[in-house]
């Protein structure tokens, strides 16, 4: 079996409050999208990468000519973009090939962590995601602001990407969740909903998702340059 990459990069970045979608903001000499792609491309075992882009964004042209990279139009929600990219991969790949889904907005991913995830998945045969143990004390709160309880953080992990699953199973799970009206914010949620086992592989807290302007400064620090 082979391994492929899928990069959802079709969001608008509302929370970043910038004048362009955050995946095209430049940090340390390259866009967030290019940093994310560079880390995936550093893994020789990844056969090709399908990037879901906003069809009317001319900036997607920055990817033209990149070896092993293709683009396809994304959708309204992140899950729609991932599903569109999986469908675009299907003519090239087999259903039991593995797919690594990685957010364009996680530019600080270390290729060594991607490889660790791949080794873990290929040896166990179960799909998995990078995740980090929660360090904060987490409160469950009702709509009136009253604390109901404190959750046991030993069982709580923050989901990251990449998330690695079999192409056919993931496409089926995402399509099924959509049909059932179940909102999923990552691939693992769809796989859990469909009843597949999902494992966590410890990742690094450096692999942050760039969501707000402050995150951009942190990413710039980790990537070794200034935010522009």
Interacting residues with ligand CTP between 118 and 137 (CB under 6 A): none
Token pair belonging to 110: 């270390």
Taking contact as CB under 6 A, which single stretch among the options 71-79, 172-180, 200-208, 216-224 is the one that binds ligand CTP? Answer: 71-79
CA dist 206 and 182 (Å) reads: 30
Please name the helix (run of DSSP H) or strand (run of DSSP E) that holds residue 72, with its range, or none. strand 69-73
Of residues 5 and 13, the one with the C-beta less far from ligand CTP: 13
Of residues 26 and 126, the one with the C-beta less far from ligand CTP: 26
Taking contact as CB under 6 A, which single stretch among the options 6-14, 61-69, 143-151, 175-183 is the one that binds ligand CTP? Answer: 6-14
Q: Give the dihedral of Cα atoms 190, 196, 202, 204; nearest 10 deg.
A: -20
Of residues 9 and 89, the one with the C-beta less far from ligand CTP: 9
Total residues at interface with ligand CTP (CB under 6 A): 21
29 φ, ψ (degrees, to nearest 5): 85, 0
9 φ, ψ (degrees, to nearest 5): -140, 35
Of residues 13 and 127, the one with the C-beta less far from ligand CTP: 13
Q: How far is the CB of 36 from ligand CTP (least distance, A)?
A: 8
User: Is residue 5 part of the contact set for ligand CTP (CB under 6 A)?
Assistant: no
User: Do you find a cis peptide bond into 116, omega within 30 degrees of 0?
Assistant: no
Among 4, 5, 11, 28, binds ligand CTP (CB under 6 A): 11
How does DSSP classify residue 49? E
User: Is residue 103 part of the contact set for ligand CTP (CB under 6 A)?
Assistant: yes
Token pair belonging to 3: 């391994």
Nearest alpha-carbon partner for 187 in 211, 160, 151: 160
User: Is residue 18 part of the contact set for ligand CTP (CB under 6 A)?
Assistant: no
CA dist 46 and 89 (Å) reads: 13
Taking contact as CB under 6 A, which single stretch among the options 57-65, 69-77, 89-97, 125-133 is the one that binds ligand CTP? Answer: 69-77
Non-local (6+) Cβ contacts of 165 within 8 A are 98, 99, 101, 127, 173, 187, 191, 196
Interacting residues with ligand CTP between 185 and 224 (CB under 6 A): 209, 211
Taking contact as CB under 6 A, which single stretch among the options 12-20, 55-63, 93-101, 146-154 is the one that binds ligand CTP? Answer: 12-20
Non-local (6+) Cβ contacts of 28 within 8 A are 35, 220, 223, 224, 225, 226
Binding stretches for ligand CTP (CB under 6 A): 8-15, 23, 52, 74-78, 81, 103-105, 209, 211
């Amino acid at each position: 079996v082979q391994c492929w990459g899928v990069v959802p990069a079709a969001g608008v970045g509302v929370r970043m409050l910038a004048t362009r979608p955050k995946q095209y903001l430049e940090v340390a000499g390259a866009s967030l999208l290019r940093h994310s792609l560079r880390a995936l491309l550093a893994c020789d075992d990844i056969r090709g990468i399908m990037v879901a882009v906003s069809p009317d964004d001319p900036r997607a042209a920055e990817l033209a000519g990149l070896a092993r990279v293709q683009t396809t139009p994304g959708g309204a929600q992140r899950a729609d973009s991932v599903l569109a990219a999986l469908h675009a991969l299907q003519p090239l790949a087999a259903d039991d090939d593995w797919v690594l889904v990685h957010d364009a907005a996680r530019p600080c991913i270390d290729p060594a962590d991607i490889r660790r995830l791949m080794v873990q998945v290929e040896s166990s045969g179960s799909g998995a995601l990078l995740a980090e143990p929660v360090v904060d004390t987490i409160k469950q709160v009702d709509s009136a602001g009253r604390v109901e309880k404190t959750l046991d953080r030993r069982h709580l992990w923050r989901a990251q990407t990449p998330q690695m699953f079999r192409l056919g199973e993931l496409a089926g799970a995402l399509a099924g969740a959509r049909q059932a009206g179940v909102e999923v914010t990552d691939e693992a949620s769809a796989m859990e909903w469909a009843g597949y086992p999902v494992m966590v592989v410890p990742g690094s807290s450096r692999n942050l998702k760039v969501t707000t302007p402050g995150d951009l400064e942190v990413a710039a620090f980790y990537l070794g340059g200034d935010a522009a």
